[in-house]
Amino acid sequence: MTNKKDAPIGVFDSGMGGISVLRELVKIMPNEDYIFFGDSANAPYGIKTVEEVQKLSFEKVEHLLSYNCKAIVVACNTATSAAIKELRAAYPDLIIVGLEPALKPAVEHKKDSKVGVMATPLTLKEKKFND
């Protein structure tokens, strides 16, 4: 078994957009090893149901864990919004980092202005986008 310190970091996205996230991870942590999974076969996630995205997210995490990943980066806003809470509950000892628009800081910074968010239909159904 691989020493967790030397284990790779798993990164997944609903397609290939997460490569940009992977590129930034390599810049800030160049001594780490990474495994990337771009789920182009099931893209786009944004038109699926929450349950479908959760199922796909769990499948990707399980796949990455088969490589003994020490941490998982969910490089997909839709998967983060639909599944991050459930993933963290299911894997309490695993570091799971998700991506989401920095909505709260943007709104606080621009209190009297409108803030634009580019997101999938599923992500926009979240409560935080309607408050």
Query: Which two structure tokens, joined as six digits, stand for 40?
Result: 């182009």
Check residue 99 and give its pLDDT. 83
Check residue 96 and give its pLDDT. 97
Q: What is the pTM of this model?
A: 0.83
Q: pLDDT tens digits, residue range 89-119?
A: 999 999 999 987 566 677 677 667 776 766 6
Which architecture does CATH list for 7-100?
Answer: 3-Layer(aba) Sandwich (3.40)
Q: pLDDT tens digits, residue range 28-48?
A: 999 999 999 999 999 999 999
Mean pLDDT of 51-76: 97
Check residue 1 and give its pLDDT. 45
* Helix 77-90 × helix 50-65 angle, to 10°: 60
Annotated domain spans of the chain: 7-100
Query: Which two structure tokens, joined as six digits, stand for 126?
Result: 């979240």
Check residue 97 and give its pLDDT. 94
